[in-house]
């Protein structure tokens, strides 16, 4: 039988889950950008699913399955996309993602080092930023 969720809590920029087997797992909030951007009140407003294997944040439209906690990879923010967005904090992640036609959550995962963009995706992100730069110089 698969472990089920017994408890969820947040501390030190991480989300923790305690399982029915008594194990505790955690992931950095960067792995779940919707939760990272949420208020403490929004984070605490969740419900554990009927089968005790997922968590739902209705207000945030976020769902996390217990299997998401078994990934032990930590964020690697030493990447080109993270460096660009850290250098220009005024960039709006949602708007850059929208202009590219990708989900904000996916772009945030690239920025937070949770996912590594392919060379082609990196080129697309840079192209979107270059277009923005050209539009700004036309002002």
Note the pLDDT tens digit of each residue in 20-42: 999 999 999 988 888 999 999 99
CATH of domain 80-137: 1.10.260
Q: Where are the domains of the chain?
A: 5-70, 80-137
pTM over 0.75: no
Q: What are phi and psi of 90, to 5 degrees?
A: -75, -10
Averaged pLDDT score across all residues of the chain: 91
**Residue 9 pairs with which residues in a beta bridge?**
16
The whole-angstrom separation of Cα 95 and Cα 101 is 10
Average pLDDT over residues 44-65: 94
Among 125, 118, 41, 46, which Cα is nearest to 83's?
125
Tokens of 40: 């403490």
Residues in CB range of 102: below 8 A, 6 or more apart: none
Are both 5-70 and 80-137 of the same fold?
no
Average pLDDT over residues 87-94: 92
The count of other CB atoms within 10 Å of the CB of residue 87 is 8
- pLDDT, residue 1, reads 62
Average pLDDT over residues 77-95: 90
Beta strands 14-19 and 54-57, pairing class: unpaired
**pLDDT at residue 74 greater than cutoff 80:** no
The count of other CB atoms within 10 Å of the CB of residue 136 is 8
Identify which has the larger pLDDT, 1 or 129: 129
Asked whether 33 and 108 are in contact (CB, 8 A), the reply is yes
Class of domain 5-70: alpha beta
Average pLDDT over residues 33-60: 94
Residues in CB range of 127: below 8 A, 6 or more apart: none
With a pLDDT cut of 70, the percent of the chain lying above it is: 99
Note the pLDDT tens digit of each residue in 115-136: 889 999 999 999 999 999 999 9
């Amino acid at each position: 039988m698969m472990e089920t969720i017994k408890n969820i809590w947040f501390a030190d920029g991480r989300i923790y889950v305690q399982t029915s087997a008594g194990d505790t797992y955690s992931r950095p909030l960067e792995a779940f950008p919707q939760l990272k951007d949420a208020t403490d009140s929004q984070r605490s407003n969740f419900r554990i699913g009927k089968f005790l294997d997922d968590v739902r944040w209705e207000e945030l439209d976020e769902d996390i399955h217990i299997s998401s906690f078994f990934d032990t990879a930590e964020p690697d923010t030493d990447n080109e996309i993270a460096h660009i967005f850290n250098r220009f904090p005024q960039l709006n992640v949602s708007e850059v993602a929208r202009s590219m036609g990708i989900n904000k959550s996916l772009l945030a995962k690239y920025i937070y080092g949770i996912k590594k963009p392919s060379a082609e995706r990196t080129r697309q992100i840079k192209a979107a930023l270059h277009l923005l730069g050209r539009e700004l110089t036309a002002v």
